Every structure is written in C-alpha cells, then in structure tokens.
Amino acid sequence: MPSEDTVRKLAEYVKRDHQLLSDLKMLVEQPSVSATGEGLEECANMVSDMLRREGFKVSQHRVDNGAPIILARMETVKPGRRILFYNHYDVQPPDPLSEWRTNPFQLSESDGMLYGRGIADDKGDIAARLAAVRAIRDRLGELPVSITWVIEGEEEVGSTHLESFVLKNAESLKADFCLWESGDISDDGRPNFYLGVKGMLYVELQIKTSEGDRHSMYAPILANPAEKMARLIASLKDERGRVRLKNFYRDVRRPKSSEMRLLRKIRVNMENLRRSLAAYELTARDGVEALEKLVLEPTCNIAGFSSGYQGPGIKTITPSTARVKMDIRLVPDQDPRKILSSLRRHVRGYGRFEIKVHSMCWPCRTSPDNPYVRLSTETGRAVYGAAPNIWLNMYGTGPMFIISRIGVPAAMLSCITHQGSRLHAPNENISLNHLWLAAVHQAAFLDSVSRVGSGPAS
C-alpha cells in the first residue's frame, strides 16, 4: 500500500496543478464528434501536443480511413514494468442542444462540478492521466514505470479500426497491465473498479412474407410475419427466463469462490436501483440476486420490434415484414461466433429469417488474483479511504477484448464519473474532487507498480 505521506504529497501536487484544468478546458473546447467527423484531426493534434509537452514520444496512425490513433511512449530510466493506457479523444454529438444549461463545448464550473461534452467520457480521464504522470515525476523525480498510451478517436462509433491497429502493432503495445478508461464512484463514495466487460452480439432479424402490406381480409391465407417473429422470440427463453439457444450457457465461466466473495462485498440497494430504473418490476428478489445477475449472467434482450401499422387508430393490414433488434450480452468465456451459429440453427426451425450481424464484441475479465488488481485494491483504499468495490466485470460492453487479444490484462480504475454524470447526454459532468482523486489514484498506482519489481509479477 502507498504510504499516507505519498498519497498526501500526490494530492497536494494535483490540487495545485493548474495544467490539469487548463488541459481539460482546451480539450472540451475542441469539438471532436466521431459521429460527424467534426474536429477529430484537430483534437488528435492537440492531444499529441499535450503528450509531447510531457515528454512522450508520439506518433499518429490510421487504419484505412479511420480517425487518427495516437500512440505515445515514455520509458522509465531503469528497466521495469510497462503499463498500457487506453483512452479515446472522440465524444458523442452534443444534441439535443436545447437541454444543455451551459455551452457543451465550453468548460463550465459550478459548486465544485465541471460541465462539458466529453468531460466524463473521456477527456477528463486523459487530462487526469497527464496530471498523474506529472505528479509521479514530481514526487519521484523520474517515471517509475514505462508507459505506452493508445488514444483512439472512434470509440463512440464502435472502435471500428482499433482491432486492426492493435493486432498490427501487437509488439509495441505489449505491457504488463492495461489501465482501461472508466471506473466510477458509487453513491456511498467508494471507488468502483471493473476487471472486465461483457461481450455482445448485436443482430437484426427480419422476416418478409410478401411484397408490401396487404388488406387483412386476406389474413386467412397469408402468413403473418409479426406472428412468426413473436413465435421465434417466445421460443428463445424458458419460463424462468433462461435462454434456450443450444449450448448458450456451455462456455460460461464459473466464478471462483474468491471471486464470489469479492462480488458479495458489493452492496446493491434494491430500492435505489428500482427508483433509478423507474421499473415497475425487477426480476431479482434482492440486491444479492440483482448483483449476480447483472455481473455474471449473459442476456438475450429485445431492443426493438417493428412490424406493420403503428400509427394512431385503425388500419387493417397483414404486414409484409417484421424486424427485431436484439442485443445478446455475453460473459466470459462465451464466444459471439458460437452464439451466432447457435442462433442461426435455432431460427431455422421458425421460418425464413434473415440475420444481419451489426456487431460482435468478446467478453473480457481479468483475474482478481492478478497482482496489479491486488495492488489497485490497496491504492484504492489508500487514496479513497475506503475499500474499493471490485467488480468482476461491468454490466456493459466495450472493446477491452482487443487488448486482451495481445495478452495484456486490463482493468478500469479511473473513477472519473458518478451516477449523475450523464454520459452521452446533455449536461455531462464530473466532480472536481473526483477528477483530482482519479489523478492521485493513478499516480499512486504507478508508484506501487514500480515497487512490484522487474521480475515476473507474482
């Protein structure tokens, strides 16, 4: 565990570090909307300049016509550990503009909260990591570990070119551990660290039974695509909600008892959960069951169902087409390709459905026994004054598997955001205090890593 003294000194440095807010202001004021392409080049250059200013060696890369991917490196003086950082400089579009109380592309402060597009996702984290590097060098006079930093510009549109880039540059990206973006602060002030993400298979099913909708007086002799789709959907789960695709659960990794113990330490307040979801019913009896389901269970979710007439009043047609969008979230060690094959086989029994695959993302989980994860528990406790919640994986999905492809374990330890951060929404915000703590925690983590030594981590 880092000493109280180290943490205090890091914190003192960070709070005096005017560069942190000045970087954040510049980043927020430079639009970089990957959905429209606005300002991506400019933002990539700005981030590269900031990295060079701190002493990183910086190069920019493109795969096909993708947004620039920034690759930066800084070496420790004495041979030691190498940490990989992952971030993205692109942001979501600011719409709807009318719902912003401030200019989304200006840094605004009010009562210790900072507002602006990208401040929580992911520009705050870039600025905090730059501050962490400054703080640790100020404290130790040198960088205690080598750092490789990948910052892409397409995360908000599906990290389209990241995998090619990572596989092509596997050698130079090799590292002992990866600090992924994200992490957050729970309502009771504890940091939430996440050791992985769920995977996802996102598909669209379509069935077409005629060219164009028909007068429903012909219903007695027409196949109804909405009905065929409903029968298919109904067949996907049993009465307890278990997915009935063949071998769906076969590859699900059983958590070890030590992992279950970590999970059980997390407190979920069902009443808060129900309120925040505004759900009339939850399919979990209590917080323990909710937590297990959210973290450990794969799902097969209908995201959209569309067929025939959906306007007001009466229209009597037999639809020609039915469409369903479905996100199937996967847990380790499920493979979206196997799940897709199983879905294809299952669907064949219900009609002539077309299956369009929109995306595939592999689940990913780093062992809590990983020495860097163990370290983070200690640094978390030292910096936040409370034991962090160690989540085996988020409920959500991200491209973390791309890093795991080259054998680098990853975790999310940044904790920039909180429940009300409004990621992707108007009035995106973080707390100035959380920003400082994120910088301090990442500096403390780098400091601790340097003390693991240069042999194989145990």
Q: Show contacts with its own copies in window 38-97 (CB under 8 A).
A: none
Tell me which of 79, 112, 212, 455 binds its own copies, using CB under 8 A.
212
Q: Does 218 bind its own copies (CB under 8 A)?
A: yes
- Shortest spacing between CB 400 and its own copies, in angstroms: 14
Q: Which stretch binds its own copies (CB under 8 A): 25-33, 160-168, 253-261, 288-296?
A: 288-296
| Region 235-264 residues binding its own copies, contact defined as CB under 8 A | 235, 237
Contact status: 161 vs its own copies (CB under 8 A): no
Distance separating alpha carbons of residues 7 and 380, to the nearest angstrom: 11
Q: Which is nearer to its own copies, 287 or 371 (CB)?
A: 287
Question: Is residue 349 a contact residue for its own copies (CB under 8 A)?
Answer: no
Site for its own copies (CB under 8 A): which residue of 222, 288, 340, 432? 222
Q: How far is the CB of 397 from its own copies (least distance, A)?
A: 7
**Separation CA 452–CA 177 (nearest Å):** 12
Cβ-based burial of 444 (10 A; exposed 0-12, middle 13-18, buried ≥19): buried
Structure tokens at 130: 């730059």
Q: Which of residues 140-159 bind its own copies (CB under 8 A)?
A: 158
Query: Residue 84 or 232: which CB sits closer to its own copies?
Result: 232
Q: Are 330 and 297 in contact (CB under 8 A)?
A: no
Judged by CB under 8 A, the chain residues 410 through 439 that form the site for its own copies are none
> What tokens does 81 get?
């550990």
Cβ 104 vs Cβ 94: under 8 Å: yes
Q: How far is the CB of 235 from its own copies (least distance, A)?
A: 8
Between residues 371 and 426, which has the closer beta carbon with respect to its own copies?
426
302 binds its own copies (CB under 8 A): yes
Question: In the complex, what is the shortest distance from the CB of residue 218 to its own copies, in angstroms, rounded to a whole number?
Answer: 6
- Spell out the alpha helix ranges (H) of 385-420: 401-404
Token representation of residue 455: 């042999």
Cβ atoms of 58 and 52 within 8 Å: the answer is yes
Q: Please tell me whether residue 333 binds its own copies under the rule CB under 8 A.
A: no
Enclosing H/E stretch for 325: strand 321-330
Residue 43's nearest CA partner among 91, 115, 92, 94 is 91
Structure token digits, residue 107:
């840094």
Place of tokens 């009905």: 227
- Angle (CA) 14-18-20 rounded to 5° is 65
> Minimum distance from CB of 315 to its own copies (Å)?
6
Q: Which of residues 102-141 bind its own copies (CB under 8 A)?
A: none
> Which 8-state DSSP code applies to residue 67?
P
Q: What minimum distance in Å lies between the beta carbon of 324 and its own copies?
A: 8
Out of 209, 379, 417, 448, name the contact with its own copies by CB under 8 A: 209
